[in-house]
Amino acid sequence: MSQPKEKSSNPLKELLSGQFLVGHRISKNWPFILFLSILGMVMIASSHNAQRKVYEISKLRNQMKELNSVQVEKRSALMKESMEYKVLERTEALGLVKTKTPPIQVNIPNNE
């Protein structure tokens, strides 16, 4: 007795060949498949957007570090230029000299 062969449906073969998309059972699931496809595209776009922002933040951090180092250099140069001996050198070029006598403090009494 020979038994009739049943049609064995290999799910992996159906998946790889794409036959599951054209079967009569799947036609009712097309809206869900489209929804999943659109959701996947939105997730990919969101991931790319987040990665672009991470690169931009990294670039801005590097710029901030460079500008901070420039600011430190300028501040130290200003500190050196505002030292007393530097100010005296520049004022002597204008003909001004440092006085030998200290300044006099003037006190004005409050008239109440």
| Domain extents in the chain | 28-93
State the DSSP code for 102.
Answer: P
Tokens of 13: 């073969």
| pLDDT above 90: residue 73 | yes
| Global confidence as pTM | 0.52
Q: What is the pLDDT of residues 28-69, one digit of tens each?
A: 878 888 999 999 999 999 999 999 999 999 999 999 999 999
Whole-number percent of the chain with pLDDT over 70: 91
- The residues near 91 (Cβ < 8 Å, ≥ 6 apart) are 97, 98
Average pLDDT, the chain: 86
CB 73 within 8 A of CB 65: no
5 pLDDT more than 60: no
pLDDT band at 22 (very low <50, low <70, confident <90, very high): confident
- The CA radius of gyration of the chain, in Å to the nearest whole number, is 41
Structure token pair of residue 4? 């009739």
